[in-house]
Amino acid sequence: MKKLSIIILSLPLLLTVSCRRNLTDINVDPKKAGIVPSNSLFTNAERVLVNTTTSSNVNLNIYRLIVQYWTETTYTDESNYDLNTRSIPRGIWNAMYRDVLEDFERAKTLIPTDVLDPKAQANDLAMTEIMEVYTWYYLVTTYGNIPYSQALDINNPFPAYDDAATIYNDLLARLDAAIGKLDANASNWGSADVYMEVTFHHGKSLPIHSN
């Protein structure tokens, strides 16, 4: 009876506390920035892209073992082309799709607001597009048919898969269009670009070099 009385007396206090709490606060991550500049998204996407493609972590990227540049002695799963024990395909896809492509896409939406100079804006958009094309190329070459035309839409959790050949053709068209928009005389990402350097010679673009 005593326990029941305590519970009954405590209920009004609990209801008062619960009513005062704004439940929407639960959805706010205090450690995650709500507003970020486009250059930080571009830099982070490049960072994850480079780390993923050059990583020697057997949980993420085992291309050196696949092509037999390296081998293993004690744990030989990856050398024997076991991709699923460590969920390697999922790890690479998540890094490239969720962390790289998503940031490049978000950067493109913010560039028109962040960059006021029209020529610099065009350069930043073109460079972001080139890096995004490279990332898509990596994914389609690795997995074959993948979500592409309907991809990166948060409102579409089940995007359709596109034919690899169709994706390649579209990537080539996007790359040509982006290269044509580059202006060597205008400013660009500057120090935010930690990966790509595009140089020009007699008005023609040269291959992309990693810094």
- Is residue 20 situated within a structural domain? no
| Domain, as residue range, for 108 | 33-210
Q: What is the pLDDT of residues 162-189, one digit of tens each?
A: 999 999 999 999 999 999 999 988 888 8
* Amino acid identity for residue 43 in this structure: T
Q: What is the pLDDT of residues 127-147, one digit of tens each?
A: 999 999 999 999 999 999 999
SS (H, E, C) 103-147: HHHHHHHHHHHHCCCHHHHHHHHHHHHHHHHHHHHHHHHHHCCEE
- Based on the structure, what is the number of domains in the chain? 1
- Is residue 90 situated within a structural domain? yes
Measured between alpha carbons, how far apart are the two ends of the chain, in Å?
75
CATH number of the domain to which 110 belongs = 1.25.40.390
pTM: 0.76
Query: For residue 114, which phi and psi values (nearest 5 degrees)?
Result: -80, -35
Residue in the block written with tokens 């610099």: 120
Instruction: Please say if the pLDDT value at position 200 is more than 50.
Output: no
CA angle 57, 63, 69 (to 5 degrees): 100
> Which strand (E) or helix (H) includes residue 40?
helix 38-54
- Is residue 21 situated within a structural domain? no
- Catalogue the E-assigned strands of the chain: 146-147, 161-162, 196-197, 200-201, 204-205, 209-210
pLDDT, position 96: 95
Q: What is the pLDDT of residues 55-77, one digit of tens each?
A: 888 888 888 998 889 999 888 99
- Is residue 1 situated within a structural domain? no
